[in-house]
Structure 1
């Protein structure tokens, strides 16, 4: 870590008031490229993004947290059910990349969400996210090729699991 930000990170429940900040954070084109699986319908439309988050916030099975550093929203981290599994997702504002924020935020959520196993997926060329997962104890268990709307191409996704 180039900054000792881990001690300054806090998580709190995401509210609808946080959605505009999260929308702005996800607008970064490089981040969308690395994430690859952004929703093309909501990535550029603030109203559609807000509607998507209203559904997310109404789902009690989703644990969705805002990541803050010294009170400033810098991203989000969540777990959600999908096809019988629990999956991890996170998004950190680009100016905080490479400083241990995602690693610390994931660790904090994993302290809260104790259910295991938890799965995560990352496009194989997203080395930063691979490191975040590995630093939090996730192990690569497979891969699959999938169409990524954010890239309009088929990509290889690496599949990770923690526990179980």
Structure 2
């Protein structure tokens, strides 16, 4: 049985994250990525900031004992957002959906936002399966595509009590 788990990020994970971000197909799908994914110095500096920032919640995604990616929550544009990266070899196995679902069970921030390139159908589907709804649109420059890309802004609302049952 294949199992998805989350754990704290450790230094040994970073080399795997770096290798995963080098995938050109994954970069294209993510759209909003590092200016130069092969710049190891910039990568290390970026992750050092993440690891030292206590307001960023970050977890490593483990799939059947292997590092499959990461998921995090941080403040951006004055709102709390969630983001994830799953290595391409784990795509299509439900890893992203399960990891994000577990992550959302662990954090209490609501509303919570996410962004996805409009043509990243798989990521939009993962977010929708986890309860996010498309609430807006934006566009920004994509380093991986070298052009402006349209994106959806998705929102996860707080759970609301049912007026009939009083349950969530």
**What's the TM-score once normalised by structure 2's chain length?**
0.90
Cα deviations by residue, 1:64-87 (Å, 9 ceiling, x for unpaired): 100001221010011111132111
Aligned with 2:84 (options 66, 74, 90): 90
Gap regions ≥5 residues in structure 1: none
* Structure possessing the higher radius of gyration over alpha carbons: 2
Counterpart pick for 1:61 among 55, 59, 64: 55
1:39 aligns with 2:16: no
Aligned equivalent of 2:164: none
Separation in 2, partners of 1:129, 1:136: 11
Determine which of 59, 74, 95 is the counterpart of 1:80.
74
State the shift of 1:106 in Å: 0.3
Instruction: Provide Cα deviations, 1:95-120, integer angstroms capped at 9, x if missing partner.
Output: 11111000000001001111101100
Structure 2: distance between partners of 1:30 and 1:97: 12
**Helix, strand or coil for the counterpart of 1:78?**
strand
> In structure 2, which of residues 4, 8, 17 is the aligned counterpart of residue 13 of structure 1?
8
The alignment covers a number of residue pairs equal to 158
**Is this contact kept in 2: 1:10–1:68, CA < 8 A?**
yes
Structure 1 runs (4+) greater than 6 angstroms displaced: none
Q: Aligned pair 1:134/2:128, yes or no? A: yes
Counterpart of 1:99 in 2: which secondary structure?
A: coil
> Do the aligned partners of 1:122 and 1:130 also contact (CA within 8 Å) in 2?
yes
Secondary structure at the counterpart of residue 85 of structure 2: strand
Q: Deviations over 1:88-145 (max 9, x none)?
A: 1101010111110000000010011111011000000000001000000000001012
The alignment yields a C-alpha RMSD, in angstroms, of 1.2
